[in-house]
Amino acid sequence: MALAAEILGDRWTLLILREAFYGVQRYDDMRADLDAPRSMLSDRLARLVAAGIMTRRAYQEPGERERHAYALTASGRALALTLSALTQWGEAHILEEPAPVGIIDVSTGEELRVAFVNNAGKSVEPGKARLAKREGSGRWTR
């Protein structure tokens, strides 16, 4: 958890990832959307690329200089659950109302929520979940 927070744990990084999940890939578009200082945005994007969360590719519009776009890698797309869980927490404990955007099931239009699920696919209430240490044999210490 601490290692992940070291990579993702500042406001700007989370905002950049939010933009990427919205589909924004071009540096200039991200900068305009976030009203972010160039040096900060370049630094955070470089960190995300180095961590394997985003990939950088060059593109060039006709008659323009080369620019860069940033896309989520498989590792970055896997953060969807983490960021959705943070959004859920923020709705419940900070906003105290639904956030302006959410995740839906494209086939039904129903809102999706992050939950603890056991190996059988059954939801487990958060009050019945706790951290446990994994033993060398793969079993859990209760």
Give 57-112 pLDDT, tens digit per residue: 999 999 999 999 999 999 999 999 999 999 999 999 999 998 888 889 999 999 99
Q: Give me the number of domains the chain comprises.
A: 2
Q: Model confidence over 7-64: pLDDT tens digits?
A: 998 999 999 999 999 999 999 999 999 999 999 999 999 999 999 999 999 999 999 9
111 in helix, strand or coil? Answer: strand
Answer whether residue 133 is part of any domain: no
Residue-range definition of the domain harbouring residue 67: 2-73
Assess whether 33 and 96 both reside in one domain. no
**Residue 9 within any structural domain of the chain:** yes
Q: Is 70 helix (H, G, I), strand (E, B) or coil?
A: strand
113 within a domain of the structure (yes/no): yes
